[in-house]
Amino acid sequence: MVRRHLLASVAAALLVIAGVAQVPSAQAQEDPNYIWRTDPVSKVLAGKPMVDRVLHRVPGSFHDAAPIAPEAWEAQQARGKALYGPGTPIYVGDESICTVAVAGYDARGRMVAVTAGHCGSEGQPVTSADAVGVGHSGRIVAVNRELDYAVIELGPNAEVSRTYNGVTVNHLGAEPRALGQVVCKSGFASAQTCGLTWFDDGHTNLNQVCAMQGDSGAPLLAGDALVGIINGGILNAPCQTPLQGPLFSPTSSARIENIIGAMNNGFRLP
């Protein structure tokens, strides 16, 4: 706890001293969290001192976040739609910042998406952070606190896809990961990262992928198979910057097979 607050305080002070340069963009005008930074401190904290700029999208994260997915930008500009797929960044209600694990259809043909259950409550509106200009494009219709997942029913101003920002889900579920096998995630706060599996009993996968607030709900992947969704760290030591190296909390992820079974709505990929 002390280390986390100290890191955040030092980084914030350095940013004030160095100054923050924001590069104008259409999205920045709509989303106050979409901030390009060009100062050297931000680049170093993101682990990319030689790049021209880094992107911050979640308060408290010093990672170089993933920019708007090209396909999401095209869907918004060409068709006025918010695209949902594995790794879509979302705002739930007025407070929560989370990530979509997967999107598709239920047995009745309705478009739905899945994120972490602690991201919100039934009835709360959902907005894609990659298409804030579209406005609310979904609503939480079911929450399971035990398995920590939430089902989002998407509106007519949404679209669904198996692929999002370079991440593709073609299979729902995989064999339990053995100790040391690599899994990856794509989250709002810390983009795409990979790490080793510590434990997987078919219900929970415990791994060393980098994750922090904002990555909740993100897809945990083995290739193009969705293993589970990111629920959170087992210790209070989030991965706020690549400078931490491996010194961050192991990440707990609920297995997708159990979630799909509990949803019991005939979920299928697009």
What is the domain extent for residue 153? 70-165
Contact (Cβ atoms closer than 8 angstroms) between residue 259 and residue 227: no
Q: pTM of the full predicted structure?
A: 0.90
| Residue 142, token pair as written in the block | 């079911």
Helices (H), the chain: 2-18, 26-30, 40-45, 70-79, 256-263
CB distance 192 to 97 below 8 Å? no
Q: Is residue 23 part of a domain?
A: yes
Tell whether 100 and 40 lie within a shared domain: no
Q: What is the pLDDT of residue 30?
A: 83
- In 3D space, the residue among 145, 112, 144, 139 whose CA is nearest the CA of residue 124 turns out to be 139
Query: Which among 150, 165, 180 is the end of a domain?
Result: 165
Structural domain ending residue among the three candidates 139, 165, 191: 165
Query: Could you give the number of structural domains in the chain?
Result: 3
Report phi then psi at 14, rounded to 5. -65, -40
Mean pLDDT per 10-residue section of the chain, whose length is 270 residues? 42 40 50 95 97 96 96 96 98 94 98 98 98 97 98 98 98 97 97 97 97 97 98 92 95 98 97
CA 215/CA 205 separation, integer angstroms: 16
Of 125, 145, 165, the domain-final residue: 165
